[in-house]
A = this chain, B = another copy of it.
Amino acid sequence: MTEFTPAGIRVIACDIFGTTFDWRTGVADQVSQIAAEQGVTIDGGEFADDWRDRYLPSIRCVNDGERGWAHLDTLHRESLDDLLETRGIAGVFDEAARRRMVRAWHRLPAWPDAASGLARLRGRYVVAALSNGGFALLTNLINSSHLPFDCVLSADLTRTYKPAPAPYLNAADLLDVEPDQILMVAAHTWDLDGARQAGLRTAFVERPLEKGPGRPADRAIDTTSDLAAAGFDELADKLGC
């Protein structure tokens, strides 16, 4: 772990899915509800897992140039269609139901420590959402959760997904700071690896339940970062907020 100087940090950039919001619970609950309205019972958690498993491959296709730019909503829709087909239940969900399922990602519960931790961090730092979500999706998440972010930095601003350098460097550019004045906060090793390669400082936040009780999440011990914390409150503690 490199020497960490919180005095140099001016911006806390928070990843959103899994780090700030509990996507699995939120998607599972809404998908189960929509399925029930169609008269079928599905295990929402398993469904959310399978859907999320298609996420990293789908953004890699965009970043690798295998396809043009596509919004996360579009990628979610394509992977949903594929998932429903694979499960043999494509006929159950019509266009309206599928749209609602994609919109489930716009309304998720925050982890319990997010509101208090972010409010404390905001007293000393600019607090930004820096996510692969679209601008509308992130704004809707913040609006429904009332989390105290100062600004939204989304993938569609650069038409590139993390962990490519552009989203991280765009954050520094728009916020008029050097990359190493941003502390990227995430629960995923791949995100912090990308941030570090772009010159940002990094903080790992452990979310052991991100993928549910049956699947392991990334761990601090396996991740290279400047700081590690068990949540946003502990991160605020460690940064003296």
Tell me the count of chain A residues lying within 8 A, CB to CB, of chain B. Answer: 24
A174 and B126 contact, Cβ closer than 8 Å, known pairs A142-B150, A142-B151, A157-B157: no
* A176 beta carbon closer than 8 Å to chain B: yes
Say yes or no: A151 contacts B152, CB within 8 Å.
Answer: yes
A175 and B122 contact, Cβ closer than 8 Å, known pairs A127-B143, A151-B152, A157-B157: no
Chain B residues contacting A128 (CB-CB under 8 Å) are: 139
Q: Chain B residue with minimal CB distance to A154?
A: B174
Say yes or no: A156 contacts B174, CB within 8 Å.
Answer: yes
* A140 beta carbon closer than 8 Å to chain B: yes
Bound form: Cα–Cα A136–B154 in Å: 15
* A146 beta carbon closer than 8 Å to chain B: yes
Bound form: Cα–Cα A126–B135 in Å: 12
* A117 beta carbon closer than 8 Å to chain B: no
Say yes or no: B122 contacts A139, CB within 8 Å.
Answer: no
* A165 beta carbon closer than 8 Å to chain B: no
Say yes or no: A174 contacts B136, CB within 8 Å.
Answer: yes
**What is the minimal beta-carbon distance from A123 to any residue of chain B, in angstroms?**
9
Digitize A93-131: 1 where CB-to-B-CB distance is under 8 Å, 0 elsewhere. Answer: 000000000000000000000000000001000111000
Bound form: Cα–Cα A175–B140 in Å: 9
* A194 beta carbon closer than 8 Å to chain B: no
Chain B residues contacting A45 (CB-CB under 8 Å) are: none
Say yes or no: B135 contacts A174, CB within 8 Å.
Answer: yes
A126 contact from B134, B143, B154, B175, Cβ within 8 A: B143
Chain B residues contacting A134 (CB-CB under 8 Å) are: 176
Bound form: Cα–Cα A140–B177 in Å: 12
**What is the minimal beta-carbon distance from A141 to any residue of chain B, in angstroms?**
9
Bound form: Cα–Cα A134–B122 in Å: 20
Chain B residues contacting A176 (CB-CB under 8 Å) are: 134-136
List 7 tightest A-B contacts by C-beta distance, closest first.
A136-B176, A135-B174, A151-B152, A139-B151, A143-B150, A142-B150, A139-B150
Assuming A135-B175, A146-B148, A154-B174, what are 6 further A-B pairs, CB within 8 angstroms?
A126-B139, A126-B143, A127-B143, A135-B174, A142-B150, A152-B152
